[in-house]
Amino acid sequence: MQISDLPYPDPGVPDARSGPRFLLWLGRGQLGGQLKSLCWGMLHFSGIAGLPYAVGLGVDAVVDREPDRLLLVGALLLVIGVAISVGDAMLHRTAVTNWITAAARVQQLLARKTAELGSALTRRVAAGEVVAVSTGDVEKIGWFVEAVSRFLAAVFSVVLVCVGLLFFAPDLGVVVAVGVPLIALASLPLLPRATKRADVQREKAGRATELASDTVAGLRVLRGIGGEELFLGRYREASQEVRKAAVRSARMWALISAIQVVLPGALMITVVWYGATLVSDGRIAVGELVAAFSAVATLLYPLRHFEEIAMAYSFSRPSAKRAARVLSLTRTDAAERPARTEPVKAPPPGGDLYDPRTGLLAPAGRFTAVVCGDPDLAGRLAERLGGHPMDVAPAADAGAGDEAGAGTEAGAGADPAPAPSVLLGGVALDELELDTARTLVLVQDKDPVLLSGTLRELFDVPASAAVDPAAALGAAQCADVLDALLQSAPDGTEDPMDARITERGRSLSGGQRQRLALARSLVTDPEVLVLDEPTSAVDSHTEARIANGIAALRAGRTTVVLASSPLLLDRADRVVLIDGDTVAAVGTHRELLHREPRYRAVVTRETDEEQRLGGPELTELAEALTEIEESA
pLDDT of residue 127: 67
Q: What whole-number distance in Å separates Cα of residue 376 and Cα of residue 217?
A: 22
| Torsion angles phi and psi, residue 388, rounded to 5 | -80, 150
The pLDDT tens digits for 515-573 are 999 999 999 999 999 999 999 888 888 999 999 999 999 999 999 999 988 989 999 99
Instruction: Among 43-52, 115-124, 385-394, name the one with the lowest average pLDDT.
Output: 385-394
pLDDT of residue 6: 75
Q: For 129-162, how does the pLDDT look when each residue is reduced to its tens digit (9 = 90+)?
A: 777 787 778 888 988 988 998 899 888 888 888 8
**Tens of pLDDT along 53-79?**
787 788 878 887 888 888 888 898 899
pLDDT for the residue 558:
94
**Which residues, including other chains, have CB under 8 Å from residue 116's CB and lie 6 or more apart?**
331, 434
> Distances from the Cα of 164 to the Cαs of 83, 298, 493, in angstroms?
18, 13, 73
**pTM for the model:** 0.65
Which of 384, 376, 328 is closest to 353 using CA atoms? 384
Distance of CA 306 to the CA centre of its chain: 30
What pLDDT, on a 0 to 100 scale, did the predictor assign at position 521? 93
580: left (phi over 0), alpha (psi -120 to 50) or beta: left
Residue 118 DSSP label: G
C-alpha span between 114 and 326 (Å, rounded): 9
The mean pLDDT of the chain is 81
User: Measuring CA to CA, how many Å separate 393 from each of 195, 208, 229, 417, 419?
Assistant: 28, 27, 39, 11, 14
Quick one: average pLDDT of 331-347? Answer: 62
Average pLDDT over residues 362-374: 92
pLDDT band of 338, cuts 50, 70, 90: low
Beta bridge partners of 331: 392
pLDDT surpassing 90 at residue 361: yes
In the chain, % of residues over pLDDT 70:
84
- Is residue 223 very low, low, confident or very high in pLDDT (cuts 50, 70, 90)? low
Contact 548/474 with Cβ under 8 angstroms?
A: no
Among 97-111, 194-208, 234-248, which stretch is predicted with the lowest mean pLDDT?
194-208
> How many CA atoms, within 13 angstroms, populate the side-chain half-sphere of residue 16?
22
Kindly tell me if the per-residue pLDDT of 416 is higher than 50.
no
Identify the pLDDT of residue 341.
Answer: 55
Helix (H) or strand (E) holding 177: helix 170-185
- DSSP helix/strand/coil, 404: coil
Task: Enumerate the β-bridge partners of residue 424.
Answer: 353, 427
Q: How far is 591 from 367, CA to CA, in rounded Å?
A: 16
Range scoring the smallest mean pLDDT among 327-331, 430-434, 612-616: 612-616
Q: Report the distance separating Cα 599 and Cα 526, nearest Å.
A: 29
Instruction: Kindly indicate the confidence band of residue 406, based on its pLDDT and cuts at 50, 70 and 90.
Output: very low
Phi, psi of 598 (to 5 degrees): -65, -40
Supply the pLDDT for residue 448. Answer: 80
Burial 482-496 (b: 16+ CB within 10 A, else e): bebbeeebeeeeeeb
Pairwise CA distance, residues 100 & 80, whole Å? 30
